[in-house]
């Protein structure tokens, strides 16, 4: 009889994935990737990039706080941390070996594959895994959200409620 190799029970290993991005702002597409990843990984760390030479709509700590608030109900299965510098160094600090990214369309692939290859050169032990976006999220990007919100459009279908409120506050404030 053929020997069946048993897959190690998930309880024996604790796998954390790092989901990095600028998240300026965090969208429903991002949120969905994190939630679906929790069916595969024990924990997800959302890594919020702070690049000092870039101007953001939301400051680093505000992006972290908003995302953390959105996932509050999931307890410690989702952590949110900011990082600057190399992603692979951040991943090493967390003890994880998995980088998770979302893919919306073929057009995302070139950039994502290049990043994954660079990261593998820098840290061969780190694997990049991709989850494809849901169809209904495939048109959503942080830049589209920013553009529509700046022009006073409704982005409630594109971002979690807490982000929508923050965007409304921001633009109300700026309009004054
Ligand atoms: O949401 P984004 O802006 O597409 O995310 C890009 C991100 C943050 C994953 C990427 O820019 C990144 O990892 N930056 C950190 C710097 C780094 O490690 N660069 C080498 C890989 S190209």
pLDDT tens digit sequence for 146-176: 999 999 999 999 999 999 999 999 988 676 6
> Is 10 part of the annotated catalytic residue set?
no
Cα–Cα distance for residue pair 48/147, rounded to 1 Å: 21
CA of 39 to the centre of ligand 1 (A): 24
CA of 134 to the centre of ligand 1 (A): 22
CA of 50 to the centre of ligand 1 (A): 10
Q: What is the pLDDT of residues 86-117, one digit of tens each?
A: 999 999 999 999 999 999 999 999 999 999 99
Ligand 1 atom nearest residue 88's Cα: 18
Cα–Cα distance for residue pair 65/153, rounded to 1 Å: 24
Residue with tokens 């992006």: 63
């Amino acid at each position: 009889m053929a020997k069946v190799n048993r897959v190690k029970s998930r309880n024996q290993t604790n796998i954390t994935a790092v989901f990095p991005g600028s998240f300026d702002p965090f969208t429903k597409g991002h949120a969905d990737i994190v939630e679906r990843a929790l069916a595969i990984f024990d924990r997800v760390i959302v890594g919020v990039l702070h690049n000092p030479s870039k101007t953001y709509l939301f400051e680093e700590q505000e992006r972290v706080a908003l995302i953390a608030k959105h996932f509050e109900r999931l307890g410690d299965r989702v952590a949110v941390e900011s990082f600057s510098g190399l992603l692979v160094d951040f991943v090493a600090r967390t003890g994880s070996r998995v980088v998770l990214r979302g893919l919306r369309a073929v057009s995302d692939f070139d950039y994502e594959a290049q990043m994954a290859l660079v990261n593998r050169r820098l840290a061969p032990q780190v694997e990049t895994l991709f989850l494809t976006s849901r169809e209904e999220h495939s048109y959503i990007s942080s830049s589209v959200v920013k553009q529509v919100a700046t022009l006073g459009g409704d982005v409630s279908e594109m971002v979690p409620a807490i982000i929508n409120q923050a965007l409304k506050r921001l633009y109300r404030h700026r309009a004054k």
